[in-house]
Amino acid sequence: MQDALRRIPWPIFFCCAGITVIGLCGLHRADMLYGTSRLFERQLIWIAIAWPAMFAVTLLPYRLLRPWSIWIYAGCVALLVVPLLMPPINGSRRWIPLGLFVLQPSEPARLAFIMAIAHYLMHSAKRRTWAGLIPPFVLTLLPLLLILREPDLGTALLFLPVLFAMLFAAGEKKTHLVVAILAGVACLPLIWQQMNAEQRSRVVTVFIQQDGGTTPAGDGFHLHQSKQVIALNGIYGSVSQQEMVSDDPAAWRLPAARTDFIFSLIAERYGLIGCTILLLLYSVLVLYGLRTAHRTKEPFGRLVAVGIVAMLAVQVIINTGMTVGLTPITGITLPLCSYGGSSLLSTSLAMGLLMNIAMRPGYEVAGIPFATRTTRIAA
């Protein structure tokens, strides 16, 4: 037991815990600004479920999941079809009601996708041919297009960067990587056609945004309010001030403050210092994940680690970027920080799998080193 505790990569857990606590502080600030809700208490319940699940994933060697990767992927893709057959909730078909809670199948689908791609790319004979590039793109486009139909642009945007990162880590030829990039660019018109009018408008808004002036209507409203809330309390945030800097309630209005725009609330409450601490925690997670991938000799584990790190990094970049107008507003959450049970649980499972890989960097079964007759005599 003591040996197992020593092997656990505690930096990963402490970074995850720190990010989650900062998220709770953001939810508390939302209650202060917009009225008390039960989301803070619900998030605590999800944390009580997610953290034990994170450690449970570390118990069994991750290699036991490898033969089941494709089947897990197939099951998650089937789950992605279910919401499309159900009545919409707030204009979207992203969730499956399960009584006490709702499941967002796109969350576990991301991790299943990473495992399936890793299972395929670990066989070098398959991936180092031109035809070998086709299956990874098929495995990528299938969940991507289904998620776009929900619609969920933010989650869909994660798949292609994660695929490229895993192809790079698998040692693909440079020409294959160039083709992968060109294929990804070629898929953009297809992705654009699958996007609805609202999603296209949000992409366009990034290029036509203007600072100052009257509050815009439509999709520009969310971006305008997000930047305004971030700028309200400067470097140190409202936590260091006795009074609110504005008496106008409209200045603080921020739709989806507890989910998509939790970063804006953290910036308002704790200023630039709080944002820096949060981004440093994410950076440590990414760097430790890359270190884990570098140290892992087994190809499946190395590729899964790279995929998890890429997914986390891209999601953080997209979410924080959209709050300041650098990326389109896509409805994607800030991992481990935003309110949401499916997101918190699936990301915690991914972090648990990363911890599992870090605990087992070598091969579990190794053959006897090859020895020639000469070396045996010398021994």
- Inter-residue contact 333 to 343 (CB < 8 Å): yes
| Category of 331 on φ-ψ map: left (φ > 0), alpha (ψ -120 to 50) or beta | left
Q: Which domain holds residue 212?
A: 21-360
Give Cβ neighbours of residue 137 (< 8 Å, ≥ 6 apart): 163, 180, 183
Question: pLDDT for 22-58, tens place per residue?
Answer: 999 999 888 888 878 888 899 999 999 999 999 999 9
Q: Which residues, other chains included, contact 67 with Cβ-Cβ below 8 Å and sequence gap of 6+?
A: none
Alpha helices in the chain (DSSP H): 2-7, 10-34, 39-57, 69-84, 106-121, 124-127, 134-148, 153-156, 159-169, 174-194, 197-208, 220-231, 262-295, 299-323, 341-359, 373-378
Confirm whether 302 is domain-assigned: yes
Report the 10 Å Cβ neighbour count for 236.
13
Whether residue 306 has pLDDT greater than 80:
yes
Please give the average per-residue pLDDT across 172-188, as a whole number.
77
Of 351, 350, 314, give the one whose Cα is nearest residue 333. 314
Split into its structural domains, the chain has a count of 1
Of residues 53 and 250, more confidently modeled: 53
pLDDT digits (tens, 9 = 90+) for 334-349: 999 999 888 899 999 9
Say whether the peptide bond before residue 335 is cis (omega within 30 degrees of 0).
Answer: no
Report the share of the chain in percent with pLDDT over 70. Answer: 84
Predicted local confidence at residue 127, as pLDDT: 61
Whether 315 is in a domain gets the answer yes
State yes or no: pLDDT of 365 exceeds 60: no
Give the integer Cα–Cα distance in Å for 347 and 291.
Answer: 19
| Residue 312 and residue 342 in contact, taking contact as beta carbons nearer than 8 Å | no
Asked if residue 81 is part of any domain, the answer here is yes
Mean pLDDT of the chain: 82
Question: Phi/psi at 97 (nearest 5 deg)?
Answer: -65, 130
pLDDT surpassing 80 at residue 252: no
In a domain, 367, yes or no: no
Does 373 reside within a domain? Answer: no
Give CA–CA dist 88/98, Å, rounded.
15
Instruction: Establish if 16 belongs to a structural domain.
Output: no
Q: Which own/partner contact pairs does 90-94 have at CB distance under 8 Å and 24+ positions apart?
A: 92/150, 92/151, 92/152, 93/149, 93/150, 94/150, 94/152
Least confident of 54-63, 191-200, 338-347: 191-200
* 371 assigned to some structural domain: no
Q: Which two three-digit tokens encode residue 265? A: 């609330």
Give domain status of residue 372, yes or no.
no
Quick one: tokens of 287? 């760097």
260-295 per-position pLDDT tens digit: 889 999 998 898 899 999 999 999 999 999 999 999
